[in-house]
Amino acid sequence: NAGVTQTPKFQVLKTGQSMTLQCAQDMNHEYMSWYRQDPGMGLRLIHYSVGAGITDQGEVPNGYNVSRSTTEDFPLRLLSAAPSQTSVYFCASRHRDRGTYEQYFGPGTRLTVT
Amino acid sequence: SQQGEEDPQALSIQEGENATMNCSYKTSINNLQWYRQNSGRGLVHLILIRSNEREKHSGRLRVTLDTSKKSSSLLITASRAADTASYFCAYEGNFGNEKLTFGTGTRLTIIP
């Protein structure tokens, strides 16, 4: 299994540009989520999904959209990039209702908005 | 913000010593987990403790949970250079939404 994969690894955007961060998992996990990590802030939840067709907002959803058309994929869209969105983005997944709860993380996407 | 807090923010110890880091949170929880992050990498799950448990062991890791104080601690015994990393606690509140809230992390450096 490849686990959780994210692309791209690095990205530089200009203010106002849009882009999509890709996330895929091959573990048939129902639950997927996106976090951003900023220095001294830990990880903050942006959006999450408990299954295909179901998404919900996390702690810091403004400026981001998500969709979940398949179990495997959970892309994160930046609608109009702002310098405040400069961060490292992590995608994670886990099973639901298995009693384990541990999340599996991707390697991250480092985004810089100028 | 419901974000958990960890202390210390940074910890440097000699190889072979024990390392203890603490996590405090603000809500009722279903479980609390600890993750490790090596520099420039994603997070890796270490151990989970449920709200009805007080202590749990996994290899050189020992986790305690005090729900009355809303706090947890992670003890790494007989530290190794490879333990150098950032450690994060994360808890799932019992609100039924399955969200995981992370603490701010402890940066651990093991001096060979």
Residue A66 has pLDDT above 90, yes or no: yes
Q: What are the tokens at A23?
A: 């996330």
| DSSP three-state, residue A83 | helix
Tell me the CA end-to-end span of chain B in Å, nearest whole number: 38
pLDDT over 90 percentage in chain B: 79
- Contact residues, chain B, for A101 at CB < 8 Å: 31, 33, 48, 92
Say whether A45 and B104 touch across the interface (CB within 8 A).
no
CA closest to A40 among chain B residues: B104
Tell me how crowded residue B17 is: count the other CB atoms within 10 A of its CB. Answer: 12
Nearest Cβ partner for A101 among B9, B33, B97: B33
Pairs of CB atoms within 8 A across A/B: 59
Whether A54 contacts A42, CB under 8 Å = no
The confidence band for B23, taking pLDDT boundaries of 50, 70 and 90, is very high
Q: Torsion-angle region of residue B68: left (phi > 0), alpha (psi -120 to 50) or beta?
A: alpha
Q: Which residue has the tokens 């709200």?
A: B51
CA dihedral A45, B10, B34, A11 (to 10 degrees): 40
Question: What is the per-residue pLDDT for B3?
Answer: 72
Is A42 in contact with B4 (Cβ distance < 8 A)? yes
Do residue B43 and residue A92 have CB atoms under 8 angstroms apart? yes
Sign of CA dihedral A87, A61, A103, B17: positive
- Does residue A72 register a pLDDT over 70? yes
Q: What pLDDT, in 10s, does the model give residues A81-104?
A: 999 999 999 999 998 876 667 899
Per DSSP bridges, beta strands B5-7 and B10-14 are unpaired
Residue A110 burial (CB count, 10 A):
16
Contact B42 A4 (CB under 8 A): yes
pLDDT at residue number B63: 98
Single-letter amino acid, residue B60: R
Q: Which residues contact B52 (CB under 8 A, 6 or more apart)?
A: none
Interface test with B, best of A88, A103, A104, A110 (most B CBs within 10 A): A103
Using one digit for the tens of pLDDT, what is the confidence trace for B58-96? 999 999 999 999 999 999 999 999 999 999 999 988 776
Q: Contact A55/A66 with Cβ under 8 angstroms?
A: yes
Which DSSP category does A100 fall into? Answer: -
Task: Name the token pair of A62.
Answer: 């403004």
